[in-house]
Structure 1
């Protein structure tokens, strides 16, 4: 008897899960994705700046046995085990891997959706590149002080663009102060104007309107193209389909990544909230989560108990143009340490990370099950620390509903 597994989303987590599921010859895998190629999301700032195309053909990163359906899921029918796609097409499944990822968030800032240029998706970055190519002399205002904002600001400045960075509360909030200073020095050398502590409260066609933190001054407009890099939010598919989610919209699961509403649904990547304590949105989390999700499905097919999540972290890598980078080192529980790496070594590490993500997918496509899953006690410590800080948040129970 054959088992059909449907994977929603071909990001780092979805492709990894799809590849790993082909370990069993009696499993048919269908991957649903809005486009017919793999997008290197961690290179989208390079796509916008024209230093990389941020695309890999599925033939390189996806196992040949995986069937690809180009489309987007619009609803999940848990009871019927069916997924509706755009165009009213429906696909059935025995197991579903929910790996729809995340999308850029405008934070509710007026005018951001209409006038700002996001960089969170391949289509966004492609559009941004066209806009910038059509107006090579225009200054750019980058909104957001996280990794995406820093990488966009540095990449564009290194290419000769006049850039102003509006970071919001803090530049590189994950970084400890020594690593933050390195990043700020690099931005200064590139000529990036950093408006520390400034917030964008409105976006107009002629630029971004700033707030000094207390009083809105409608005259305080930073002119130029407004590039929006101020954070991400999960897809709303799980919530609109009646599945339980956390406050942000991630699918709530137990520690095996199994949905609390059905043991036929597992989640991975940015879309997952195991025990209500999601991991940081990153390829560093997405690849192991994709492997864990696939292993959970394979365990259920085999009739054995799936293993619990255990994914240690190493840090955060941020590129600052092609000739600069910072690596903030972290504990396995994803807490930044004082140690960091800069200079040429950090540039090499960042590029090695970008290349290794694609390499990991390609290796798993050729030899499913060959990618090593790290193991530590990191996740248990994260849950213990979270519970101590907020007693209302406790590890979630196992799946509440078991499908026949």
Structure 2
């Protein structure tokens, strides 16, 4: 009688779900997904939860393959030597392989008063905590959004479209990822929504109080409600378990997404740092890394060497309220180009289609494991790795 291979996937976000579904393509693999919540979180919709246009959750039954077992609990420790995880409930689970996909959350702001007086929205619990605060705040309340990345832009736009008086504090640059021309387009949309944009060298937050945001150049902004969207952090589970991590706490792996400490531990998503050169934290990378982490496990089970991961980016798709948005295209190495599309309802509909397509990918992988194989390959990564290692770049000769 052939025994099952037990694979535990820690984390039920985009990467974890994709990995769990992909693992079911091989008979004899028992897959257990451990997640602290009983429902899947559409993290890319959390700004909509805050604004009241979506609840940002869905039932795991809609997106998980039938053969995946779901355990609603939190892993508190990974015993790599004993191949066992300890759960917050007090139980343990043994594994033959583990996929580490714990994702990311809010980073410690490191700014006086921010932890006490600002509301982060990187997790479902944080967004749910903020929602009733927004609803209860008078329409005249000055709202300050700290951070001008996609989450900050989408949150500021969502609330401004509802008639809120919003100021966005950029740090230095509005939409730092965006091409300058795209940035000007976003600034124009924010102006139409009545959003005040604070940017430049002095536009860094130095302190937060119950009714104000203090900037590094000495300015003080009245703020009855401060929302913090600047930066992401990762859980410290890997570090607490004695596994090697990068400075942020992401699990260090090789290019096959395998832990540098243990061949039975594989990482995916925001919590992975392959070759200490992690890709951008995003849903876009997670849905690519998840299946490839699973393929590393499946290759080892088949007695074959696992392949190096491939990942790349098409750009960013940002909603600017429910009726407008911008699509910024990028090179595969995640560098923004001058190509972008912006506008009203058609672009907003495209953004919504992108959100829906992400869930479609999860469902597709659940129904047909192995079907999601279209990677946006970054051909520059190997050269970057060589440069980091101090090796000579690859030279491609041309015919005479």
Normalising by the residue count of structure 1, what TM-score does the alignment of the two structures yield?
0.92
Alpha-carbon contact 2:108-2:233 (below 8 Å) kept:
no
Alpha-carbon contact 1:276-1:393 (below 8 Å) kept:
no
CA deviations on 1:329-351 (whole Å, 9 max, x unpaired) are 10111111111111144323211
Alpha-carbon contact 2:142-2:222 (below 8 Å) kept:
no
Deviation at residue 386 of structure 1 after TM alignment: 5.4
Alignment pair present for 1:384 and 2:386: no
Q: Name the structure 1 match of 2:211.
A: 206
Query: C-alpha distance in 2, partners of 1:80/1:88?
Result: 17
CA deviations on 1:27-50 (whole Å, 9 max, x unpaired) are 111111111010000000000000
**Closer/same/farther in 2, CA of residues 392 and 128 from structure 1, 3 Å limit:** farther
Query: C-alpha distance in 2, partners of 1:353/1:136?
Result: 33
Alignment pair present for 1:183 and 2:182: no
Alignment pair present for 1:52 and 2:54: yes
Q: Name the structure 2 match of 1:144.
A: 147
Alpha-carbon contact 1:268-1:286 (below 8 Å) kept:
yes
Q: Name the structure 2 match of 1:228.
A: 228
Query: C-alpha distance in 2, partners of 1:248/1:95?
Result: 24
Specify every segment of 5 or more residues in structure 2 that has no aligned partner in the other structure, as ranges. 393-400
Matches within 5 A, 1:358-369: 358-369=359-370
Q: Name the structure 2 match of 1:13.
A: 15
SS at match of 1:342: strand
Q: Name the structure 2 match of 1:2.
A: 4
Deviation at residue 107 of structure 1 after TM alignment: 2.7
Query: C-alpha distance in 2, partners of 1:128/1:46?
Result: 12
Query: C-alpha distance in 2, partners of 1:236/1:383?
Result: 28
Deviation at residue 312 of structure 1 after TM alignment: 2.2
Alpha-carbon contact 1:44-1:122 (below 8 Å) kept:
yes
Alpha-carbon contact 1:119-1:228 (below 8 Å) kept:
yes
Q: Name the structure 2 match of 1:166.
A: 169
Q: Name the structure 2 match of 1:351.
A: 352
Matches within 5 A, 1:325-340: 325-340=325-340
Query: C-alpha distance in 2, partners of 1:236/1:193?
Result: 36
Matches within 5 A, 1:224-263: 224-263=224-263
Q: Name the structure 1 match of 2:396.
A: none
Alpha-carbon contact 1:116-1:203 (below 8 Å) kept:
yes
Query: C-alpha distance in 1, partners of 2:75/2:30?
Result: 19
CA deviations on 1:208-245 (whole Å, 9 max, x unpaired) are 22222xxx45xx24222000101101221111111111
Query: C-alpha distance in 1, partners of 2:282/2:32?
Result: 24
SS at match of 1:287: helix
Query: C-alpha distance in 2, partners of 1:113/1:144?
Result: 15
Q: Name the structure 2 match of 1:124.
A: 126
Query: C-alpha distance in 1, partners of 2:348/2:255?
Result: 35
Query: C-alpha distance in 2, partners of 1:264/1:273?
Result: 16
SS at match of 1:7: strand
**Closer/same/farther in 2, CA of residues 284 and 375 from structure 1, 3 Å limit:** closer
Query: C-alpha distance in 1, partners of 2:390/2:84?
Result: 34
SS at match of 1:227: strand
Alpha-carbon contact 2:143-2:224 (below 8 Å) kept:
yes
Alpha-carbon contact 1:106-1:230 (below 8 Å) kept:
no
Query: C-alpha distance in 2, partners of 1:361/1:244?
Result: 30
